[in-house]
């Protein structure tokens, strides 16, 4: 089962190229912290700016570096069904445990179009699929009824719910038994309260043990402890989105020596004002001396 704390991994760059040495170090850091899974080349991994060759190599590298220590859920989504199919086949071939597949973006398919897109891939590749519902990035929302239709397929096992709507998450839960993972750190606890099973987290790039403590408490039914962790982390959850993800998380990681902070255009460095705010936030939470 895909559940618990899964880290939406950044893709480290150095001199314009993927920094595979730092990527290995980050995988080891995450595993040592006890996370339940790694999610390379999703939104946080700047997948739109990676070439197909880089995309595939990053997935293969993370699988090898993880060495079976945690589940690897590879980002393989695309707005072209043929391309998503090719990326998913490759992920299966190199040993990924599951595939994270975003709604087709830009071309704005209908609900039937999305259903056929995901069913085509689920029928063709025998790998667990995590749907990824994020209208803020894709311009289209997968309706709960469509999620329920797709969840009838044995290969479609979970959904990363990033609509920002607890009502949508609740409706999905009422319609089918698909595993719901929060796609927003700040909604991890609310979604757990209606049966969610964890989070694909941005903040866990930086403080994996603290995010895991929240998730483990919630999944263990200790909502008092989970609420305490949630409220302590809430300013950091929001702080990672003061600018477009992954600009803040990579900037924060650079401040703490975990990344170069380098981004690929069209993403660029954080504004001076927001950088100062982020630095203050990290100091407030005892992360930056």
Residues 66-106: pLDDT tens digits?
999 999 999 999 999 999 999 999 999 999 999 999 999 99
Q: Strand, helix or coil at 264?
A: coil
4-220 CATH: 3.20.20.70
Cα separation, 176 vs 146, whole angstroms: 11
Above 90 in pLDDT, residue 2?
A: yes
At residue 67, the pLDDT reads: 96
What is the predicted pLDDT for the residue at 1?
Answer: 85
User: Reduced to 3 states, what is the DSSP secondary structure of residue 271?
Assistant: coil
Active site residues: 132, 160
Mean pLDDT across 138-162: 97
Judge whether 5 and 44 are in contact, CB under 8 Å.
no
User: Which residues in the chain belong to E strands, given as ranges?
Assistant: 4-8, 13-14, 17-18, 37-39, 71-75, 98-102, 129-133, 156-161, 179-182, 198-201
How many residues are listed for the chain in this entry?
289
Predicted local confidence at residue 289, as pLDDT: 84
d(CA 147, CA 84): 18
| Predicted confidence band of residue 53 (pLDDT cuts 50, 70, 90) | very high
3-state secondary structure 124-160: HCCCCEEEEECHHHHCCCCCHHHHHHHHCCCCEEEEE
* Predicted pLDDT at 227: 98
User: How confident is the prediction for the chain on average, in pLDDT?
Assistant: 97
Q: What is the mean pLDDT of residues 155-171?
A: 97
What pLDDT digit, counting tens, does each position of 260-281 carry?
999 999 999 999 999 999 999 9
């Amino acid at each position: 089962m895909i559940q618990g704390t899964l880290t939406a991994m950044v893709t480290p760059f150095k001199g314009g190229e993927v920094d595979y040495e730092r990527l290995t170090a980050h995988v080891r850091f995450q595993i040592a912290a006890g996370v339940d899974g790694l999610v390379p080349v999703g939104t946080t991994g700047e997948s739109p700016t990676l070439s197909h060759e880089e995309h595939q190599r990053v997935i293969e590298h993370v699988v090898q570096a993880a060495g079976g220590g945690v589940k690897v859920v590879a980002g393989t989504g695309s707005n072209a069904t043929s391309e998503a199919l090719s990326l998913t086949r490759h992920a299966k071939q190199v040993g990924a445990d599951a595939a994270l597949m975003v709604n087709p973006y830009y071309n704005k398919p209908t609900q039937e179009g999305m259903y056929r897109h995901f069913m085509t891939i689920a029928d063709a590749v025998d790998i667990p699929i995590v749907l990824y519902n994020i209208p803020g990035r894709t311009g289209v929302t997968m309706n709960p009824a469509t999620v329920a239709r797709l969840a009838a397929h044995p290969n479609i096992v979970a959904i990363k719910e990033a609509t920002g709507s607890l009502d949508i998450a609740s409706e999905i839960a009422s319609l089918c038994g698909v595993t719901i993972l929060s796609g927003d750190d700040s909604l991890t606890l609310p979604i757990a309260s209606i049966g969610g099973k964890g989070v694909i987290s941005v903040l866990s790039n930086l403080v994996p043990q603290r995010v895991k403590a929240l998730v483990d408490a919630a999944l263990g039914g200790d909502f008092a402890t989970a609420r305490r962790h949630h409220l302590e982390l809430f300013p950091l959850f929001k702080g990672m989105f003061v600018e477009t993800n992954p600009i803040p998380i990579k900037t924060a990681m650079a401040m703490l020596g975990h990344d170069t902070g380098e981004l690929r255009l069209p993403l660029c460095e954080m504004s001076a004002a927001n950088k100062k705010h982020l630095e203050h936030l990290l100091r407030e939470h005892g992360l930056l001396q």
